[in-house]
Amino acid sequence: MKFGRFYNLILTMSFGAFMLFGFISSCFADESIKALTENNVKTFIENTTEITTGKSNDLSSEKIAAYLDKHLDKKARFKSVMKYHIPGLPPQEASISLDKSGFMKSVNEGAQSAENYENLIEIQDIKVASNGKKAFVKTQSTEYATMAVPTADGGSEDVPMEGISECTQIISLHKGVIQMYSANCVTNIEFLEY
């Protein structure tokens, strides 16, 4: 089974634990950050929730793109292994790697692929380097959504799904701006039966 158009949502969900770009916080919009701390890294991650999950309806796609462009390192890289569990089918696995522009595109397309989307995030660990220029973050997120899945007769059926992602990220400080440098995620996605 191919998942084509679902990759964008699934990728966004799996990176949701760290790239959940939310309201453009005045802390990051106007103020130059001197050093990474557990607090400003936590705030950065928490503020990301709204944009990549489509919850920030008050931001235009241009503002979202500008924010992502500013807060993703120019050499940013993202990798996700997605494990699909679909009732009646054997488990399937897919892997995807993206650069900055690929990720930005997936955020835009992924937000339009699901309905009734909810996200819960838990920051499990933040380790800030002694020089305050890098932070290593582990997160776990749980996402819930319904998605139109093609049926054998050519139609579609709304299917509830749950995704649990575990991610390890590197966040960096570049010229006073907190940026995502890299992320590696493993996501288990279960399509639920009614």
At 194 the pLDDT is 57
Residue 117 burial class via C-beta count within 10 angstroms: exposed 0-12, middle 13-18, buried 19 and up: buried
User: For residue 63, what pLDDT is reported?
Assistant: 82
Between strands 92-99 and 156-174, the pairing is: unpaired
Burial, 60: exposed, middle or buried (Cβ in 10 Å; 0-12, 13-18, 19+)? exposed
pLDDT at 150: 77
- Find the angle CA(77)-CA(8)-CA(25) to the nearest 5 degrees: 65
pLDDT at res. 51: 63
Collapsed DSSP state (helix, strand, coil) of residue 76: strand
Residue-wise pLDDT for 140-154, tens only, equals: 999 888 877 778 898
- In sequence order, the β-bridge partners of residue 115 are 146
What pLDDT was estimated at residue 110? 63
What pLDDT digit, counting tens, does each position of 4-16 carry?
Answer: 444 455 555 555 4
pTM score of the predicted model:
0.78
Tens of pLDDT, residues 75-133: 999 999 999 888 888 899 999 999 999 988 887 676 555 567 788 889 999 999 999 99
Q: Tell me the one-letter amino acid at 9.
A: L
- The pLDDT assigned to 112 comes to 55
Report domain extents, the chain: 6-191
More confidently predicted of 88 and 193? 88
Q: What is the pLDDT of the chain when averaged over all its residues?
A: 79
Please state which CATH number belongs to domain 6-191.
3.10.450.50
